[in-house]
Amino acid sequence: MSAEAAQQEIPEEGEVVIASVKEITDHGAYVTLDEYGNLPAFLHKSEITTGWVKHIERYVNVGQKAVLKVVRINKARRQVDLSLRQVSGEERKEKLIQVKKHEKARGILEIVKNKAQLSDAESLKYTEMLEEEFGSTYDALEQLARTGVDALKKISLPSKYVEILAETAKEKIVFPTVEVKGVMEIKTDQPAGINIIKDSLTAAQSVKTGGSKVTITYMGAPKYRIVVEAENYKIAERALEQAIEKARDVIQKKGQFAFSRIDRKKGVEQTS
C-alpha cells in the first residue's frame, strides 16, 4: 500500500491491525495505525482485558507496537476504536507473521531497486503491479522463489527487473521444511551384493516428490538411515513411502529388506 493510499483509507470493523502506542491516559491509550498512514485511534481501558484494569501500563506502554482489533469506526470523522482483549492468540500470531512477511518483502524490493537502478516512481509502479496480480508483494516473491521468472509471465515488467527480482527472491526467501526419518535394513548374499545394495539406495534417493529431498546415510551394516525433507508432512510422508517402495523393489528376490520408522516426536524406531 502506498503512503498516499494509506492516508486515504480507513480499516474495517473486525480487522486486526498493528498500532503504535503514543499516549497513556486514565481512560485508555491513544495509538496510531502503522498500516494506515499513522491514523489516530483509541484503545479504551475496558477493551484491554476482561475485568477491571487499574494500571494500563501493565498491558501497553508508550512506544510499544500492539496487535489490536477494530471494534468501532466512524468513517465520516475517521475515528477508530480498538480492542486488545478481543484479539485471539491465533489472530495475533497470524498478524505478526503477516507483518514479518511485509517487512521481508520491503527489504527485498529495496535491494532490487538498487540493483536495477530504478527511480522511486518506477519501483512503486512495479510494486503496485505485483500487488495487483498476486495480492501482496511477498506472495509474488514467494512464487518467484519457487518457480522462477515464469511466475511473472502475465505481467508486462522489464525483463532485467524480473531477472533481478527472481534472483534476489530465490536468495532471500527460505521456505520452512519438515523431516521424516527411518532406518532401512538391507541384506543380500548375492555375488554382486554391494552393487545390488547401491542400486537399492540410489533408487530410494531418486525420489523427488513435491520437491522433497531424500538423504541416505550408512549406519553400519546392514542399516541405512533415510531422511526425507519437504515443505510439509503430507509431502514428506508420501515421498518416504515411495522411496521405501523403490528400495524394496530393487532388493526383492535378491535379498532381505526391512524398514523401521523413527517417530518424529520421540525419536525412536518403530518397525513397519
Q: Whole-structure pTM over 0.75, yes or no?
A: no
What pLDDT is attached to residue 8? 55
Task: Please say if the pLDDT value at position 178 is more than 60.
Answer: yes
Rounded to whole angstroms, the Cα distance separating 175 from 18 reads 25
- pLDDT, tens only, 146-157: 889 999 988 999
Task: Please say if the pLDDT value at position 12 is more than 60.
Answer: yes
Instruction: Answer positive or negative: Cα dihedral of 140, 141, 146, 152.
Output: positive
What pLDDT is attached to residue 264? 60
What is the rounded average pLDDT of the residues 80-109? 94
Task: Please say if the pLDDT value at position 2 is more than 50.
Answer: no
Task: Please say if the pLDDT value at position 219 is more than 80.
Answer: yes
pLDDT-derived band at 144 (thresholds 50, 70, 90) equals very high
Average of per-residue pLDDT values in the chain: 90
What is the rounded average pLDDT of the residues 176-198? 92
What is the rounded average pLDDT of the residues 207-221? 92
pLDDT-derived band at 216 (thresholds 50, 70, 90) equals very high
What domains can be seen in the chain, in order of their start residue?
A: 14-85 (2.40.50.140), 90-172 (1.10.150.190), 178-271 (3.30.70.1130)
What is the rounded average pLDDT of the residues 227-235? 93
Residue found under cell 537502478: 117
Give the count of alpha carbons within 13 A of 144, CB side only: 30
What pLDDT is attached to residue 222? 92
